[in-house]
Amino acid sequence: MSAVFDRIKDAFAREAPGAAVSHGILVLAVAPADVLAVVARLKEEFGFDLFLDVTAVDWPGEPLRFEVVWHFYSTRDFVRVRVKTRVPEADPTVDSLVPLYGAARFMERECHDMYGIVFRGNADLRPILLYEGFVGHPLRKDYPKGREQPLVPYREDPR
Amino acid sequence: MSAPARTIPIARAEPSGAFEYIATKKDELIGWARKFSLFPYPFVTACCAMEFMAVSATPYDTDRFGAALPRFSPRQSDLLMVVGTVTHKQAPVLLKVYEQMCEPKWVMAFGACATSGGFYQNYAALPGIDRIIPVDVYIPGCPPRPETVIDGIMQLQDKIARERHPILTREF
């Protein structure tokens, strides 16, 4: 396991200088502009052929508020790698991974629903778990806990 | 001579004058018939479905109450059993199912989520189906014990038996 990780660390010494293993997963923190190139090399050169998930972390009050996190799995070496990047609230845009992994299409829609991350290159960012007309992004820390947006008007006098 | 055939004697059905007619009230008669022929429509969305299966199966057996035959068309059913969490996204579907049911119809909120939203209080969950449709009987529990469900069915039967059953409804 560590041999694979060492090769990846050496290969991405420029893009992800602080790469380290955390809980058995290699973590690569890269710049938003490098994401697509790094993931393409992970897939082509290191055999990370399974796209597991994309999600985001909200750090309120920080200048680069959102952290977008991808996980990949190698069915050749049986190891996982995590790629992270930080984007500002004003322009939460990262490159879509749809050209590399078809599974990214739906997962990026979910991440767009919940956090409002914009995936440049994903042509279909319609709501997938939420519904048309939903205002805001419910997993952001500033979304009010009790705010509901019902589709059916409530009855006048529910017993 | 052959022996006479051995047959079981059948009582002759002659009018005897006793118990040929009964007098009752129309509402009591129709209510008695309706409370033992509930056709449930299971609107099953979540984990309470396991308990719904348990209460339908042999050890508890809702068939004893005439409520065992689920109809998977709202047009053929008269009891809407909402079993599980209903989200805001599902609420229009639930309302449409309810509106497609013919009168007379009753609604059962099965479990904590259908009753009040349960422990979900967030952007996604409807806080109780009574916000959008009228509910006749609420069954608490997360999930409810089968005994609780049977108690709910019996309470609904009592309610149906006490109800008025107009032959011509307002909508007629």
Q: Are strands B106-110 and B79-83 parallel, antiparallel or unpaired?
A: parallel
**Residue-wise pLDDT tens digits, A74-129:** 999 999 999 999 999 999 999 999 999 999 999 999 999 999 999 999 888 999 99
| Model ipTM value | 0.80
* Residues written for chain B: 172
Q: Taking residues B47-63, what's their average pLDDT? A: 89
Q: Which domains does chain A have, with CATH numbers?
A: 2-96 (3.30.460.80)
d(C-alpha A69, C-alpha A28), whole Å: 10
Chain B residue closest in CA terms to A147: B123
Q: Where are the alpha helices (DSSP H) in chain B?
A: 26-35, 48-56, 91-100, 112-116, 146-162
Q: Which residues of B touch A138 (CB under 8 A)?
A: 122-124
pTM: 0.82
pLDDT category at A14 given cuts 50, 70, 90 is confident
Query: Would you say residue B153 has pLDDT above 60?
Result: yes
d(C-alpha B14, C-alpha B12), whole Å: 6
Q: Which domains does chain B have, with CATH numbers?
A: 39-162 (3.40.50.12280)
CB proximity B127 to A under 8 Å: yes
Distances (CA, A) of B127 to A5, A146, B27: 48, 11, 35
| Matching residue, tokens 């990214």 | A104
**Residue-wise pLDDT tens digits, A135-149:** 999 999 999 988 889
> pLDDT at position A41, please?
92
